[in-house]
Structure 1
């Protein structure tokens, strides 16, 4: 299986450690990760954005681990933010967590299902 970034020379450089598109070849398995939220199993929701973001990513990776996958299997990530003021923190934490891996990425500013949740992340991973 190959996950290859698609960054056409005719487009501006992708900022924020993502790629304009992702070509996935020779896929054996695909995992669709439902929207994960900053909710721990015990029902606890952290009060600050950084903690919520890290917890949400942990939840995404828990689903991937259940399928025997990890960060380098991510092909597409969609992040929903409750407010645009979280853009920079979201980008910083995402880059820290994903390292040099650059999946296709969409960020949407929208209302979130529960008022205390500041973000939600869904993903597609392949193997």
Structure 2
């Protein structure tokens, strides 16, 4: 199928993204769509560390595990939604982000909210992916 690939771009006339994301991601017709539940900062023992950055690291580890289970990579990720209950250390988050994505950024939305599913959860990240 001609043009059967995921395309990420920042349209002309738009300001540059204010973070590591692209403004639009185009998914080709007939691609398989994958939507994850929000991944949180729980470790392999089922515990939530208190520091936000440790939860961020665990969250990215959990995202990688979920992706791997379906033979998906960062190339397949088309959209990321991030919710946090406290200020994100963007230098730390982007270090983890860049380990996953390199410079191929998906679309992204970030929201700060008062609470997530359990009181100890400080960050939750939902991933949408497509396989062509």
Structure with the higher strand share, 1 or 2:
1
Deviation at 1:77, TM superposition (A): 0.4
Cα root mean square deviation, aligned: 1.6
Runs of 5+ in structure 1 lacking a partner? Answer: none
Task: Give deviations 1:92-122, integer Å, cap 9, x for gaps.
Answer: 4323432112100000111212121110000
The alignment of Structure 1 onto Structure 2 pairs a total of residues equal to: 126
Greater alpha carbon shift after TM alignment, 104-113 vs 40-49: 40-49
Tell me the TM-score normalized by structure 1: 0.88
Question: In the alignment, which residue of structure 2 is the partner of 1:33?
Answer: 36
Structure 2-normalised TM-score?
0.85
* Partner of residue 86 from structure 1, selected from 88, 102, 117: 88
Unaligned runs of 5+ in 2: none
Given the alignment, which residue of 7, 10, 28 partners 2:10?
A: 7
Q: Kindly indicate whether the alpha-carbon contact (under 8 Å) linking 2:60 and 2:96 is maintained by their aligned counterparts in 1.
A: no
* Structure possessing the higher radius of gyration over alpha carbons: 2
SS in 2 for 1:22: strand
